[in-house]
Chains A and B, each alone.
Chain A
Amino acid sequence: MTSPSSPSPSRPSPSRPSPDKAGAADTLTGGRRRRRVRLRGGAPLPLLLPALIGLAFLVLPLVALLIRAPWRSMPDLLTSTEVWQALQLSLVCATAATVVSLVIGVPLAWLLARVEFRGRGLVRALVTLPLVLPPVVGGVALLMALGRNGVVGRWLDDWFGVTLPFTTAGVVVAEAFVAMPFLVISVEGTLRAADPRYEEAATTLGASRFTAFRRVTLPLIAPGIAAGAVLAWARALGEFGATITFAGNFPGRTQTMPLAVYLALQSDPEAAIALSLVLLAVSVAVLAGLRDRWMTAS
């Protein structure tokens, strides 16, 4: 029983020459062969129907966003000071959060991947926790730790006069808290896949472990770090819950794009759509940047 129409247009022509580059060739041709086998038997309706509904469910909202976009008033909406402020703040904070994640997250990933110590599994679980933790809870937890009366925040305030909550720095902290696990997990995976014997080879040539890491390991895992950084950056850019809880919603200071979208939706839905489209465009760009990696990874 074959479904009459839908799969055939997507069927790749078997005679098409493969222009793939060496690395991706195996997985791509492998995937193509599998797809062809599956199509020959035809997709059974009980699977095909929910699959198409699932696809529509994911794509339809985005299409709706495009349909309802106020294209004519777009230029005005996007050039307003508030939008620019929010966009600028979002980009700056997401980038800063990514930098923070890189500086402390890459060494953490190295520790998890390369050093045997007791309780490593537990540490890895703790690192991963913010991935699954509701971001609002993360924000509350950050307040408890770094708030003006928080466990650590009190000392920061007393000793250095530093207060993080409801400041731009607080936005960076909240975003880094939520985004860093993405980077750590990605980099740790790359480190595990990388041959640790290169580090050994470097030490036999007189390199200290740190030099070996800096001059051999780091360049070898650069693609993994880049992918992890992009993931973390995208996550930080979209951060809402932890940010609004820990840093509040002050235009120009802590109001990032997602917060602005949420606020605009209540007063000016057209502006909300316009802002959403900007974020959508950024997401698509990120996806395009990661495409090669994801295709070869699967």
Chain B
Amino acid sequence: MTGIEKTAQDTVGAPGRAGEGLDARLVVERGSFRLDVALTASPGDVVALLGPNGAGKTTALRALAGLVPLTDGHLRLDGAELDRTPPESRPVGVVFQDYLLFPHLTALDNVAFGPRCHGATKAQARAQAAEWLERMSLAAHAGAKPRRLSGGQAQRVALARALATHPRLLLLDEPLAALDARTRLDVRAQLRHHLADFEAVAVLVTHDPLDAMVLADHLVVIEDGRIVQEGTPADIARHPRTDYIAHLVGLNLYRGQAEGHTVRLDGAPAVTITTTEALTGPAFVAFPPSAVTLHRDRPTGSSARNLWRCEVAGLETHGDQIRAALTGELPLAADLTTVAAAELDLRPGGTVWATVKAAQTHAYPA
């Protein structure tokens, strides 16, 4: 079963059937920082905690594993209360960010460590470990010490080690962050495959929206210790509710008051955006940078109602595109081709006119 099929089938994020799955409210206070997030997931779900550094994602993961005590809240897994259970007694497996494979043990013994702690004899534990390594296509590296493994192999050994204890909750902390770009692509695909096979709840932490969208079927966006938005990847990509998410998914996002097809921006009431959708009250307006057209001179006879005078703040290459960061009446990101940029003679500090067709904007209630 692939992740996409699963998304279609399950009502992801709803509390599990008959108390199955994860039901948690994690409150952790540390000095002035307070984490307060509620997480629910059914068996088979892959939930991604997405957020900027320092948002509290890893703290949430450590709280789930029992490595950080809860200040308040609750943690139920398959109906069992876990908030007072020590980490070694929780049916939880963790893949740490830098894997933390025991350097003095071979890949096989790393994977056998969990079963051994759960009462298997040495021979049984090793046999199970060998099976897991086989499943991860790592049988050839069973005797290798962790420092002899490549990043991708180490990641799979760490995954096998976590899965070998048959956890009911699998936690992955930035599972791809330690890999270089090329390995990352392969490992991401493999990890997606293994997560799709996993029958219990998986929670992964990442700051990379692509990882989150590829691997998870439910995203929880955390900022400053609180959930700012959650939903399916597609939903979040289409309807971002904070600047952080909008930036992640590459959208221009504005918040304002809607009156029919016009949204008057909060904080800059003189600026309006004309939209396709007719709304009333608080609203978000989003449009992609590719929807922005730039002009050297004020366009005349343009049908676009959304016209702003901007100053070029910076230019960045993205593949064969150039992304221009614009300030002025409206802070904007605009994508244009290298040729267009040359014709417009764009340079930081220069003035341009930006237009956006109403048809390319997307407004939704805040």
Q: Which residues of A contact B (CB under 8 A)?
A: 195, 197-198, 200-209, 211, 215-216, 219-220
Contacts and interface: CB of A to CB of B under 8 A. Distances in A.
| Residue of A202, A205, A209 with most partner-chain B CB within 10 A | A205
A208 B86 CA distance: 9
Contacts, number: 57
B88 A216 contact: no
Interface stretch (B13-21, B97-105, B318-326): B97-105
Contacts of B165: 205-206
B118 interface: yes
Contacts of B294: none
Interface in B100-123: 100, 102-104, 113-114, 117-118
A-B residue pairs, 10 tightest by C-beta? A206-B117, A205-B114, A201-B100, A204-B94, A219-B104, A203-B87, A207-B117, A203-B88, A206-B118, A206-B88
A210 to B, nearest CB: 10
A200 B104 contact: no
Contact of B161 (A200, A205, A207, A216): A205
Interface of B: 65-67, 86-90, 92-94, 96, 100, 102-104, 113-114, 117-118, 161-162, 165
A203 B68 CA distance: 13
Contacts of B94: 201, 204
A211 B117 contact: yes
B96 A197 contact: yes
Nearest to A197: B100
B109 to A, nearest CB: 10
Contacts of A198: 100, 102
A219 B103 CA distance: 9
A204 B113 contact: no
A202 B165 CA distance: 12
Contact of A204 (B67, B104, B118): B67
| Residue of B86, B89, B102, B103 with most partner-chain A CB within 10 A | B102
B271 to A, nearest CB: 49
A208 B66 CA distance: 13
A195 B102 CA distance: 11
A23 to B, nearest CB: 12
A204 B171 CA distance: 10
17 contacts: A198-B102, A201-B96, A202-B102, A202-B117, A204-B67, A204-B87, A204-B88, A204-B94, A204-B162, A205-B113, A205-B161, A206-B114, A207-B113, A209-B88, A215-B113, A216-B102, A220-B104
Contacts of A207: 88, 113, 117
Contacts of A211: 117
Contacts of A201: 94, 96, 100, 102
A200 B67 CA distance: 7
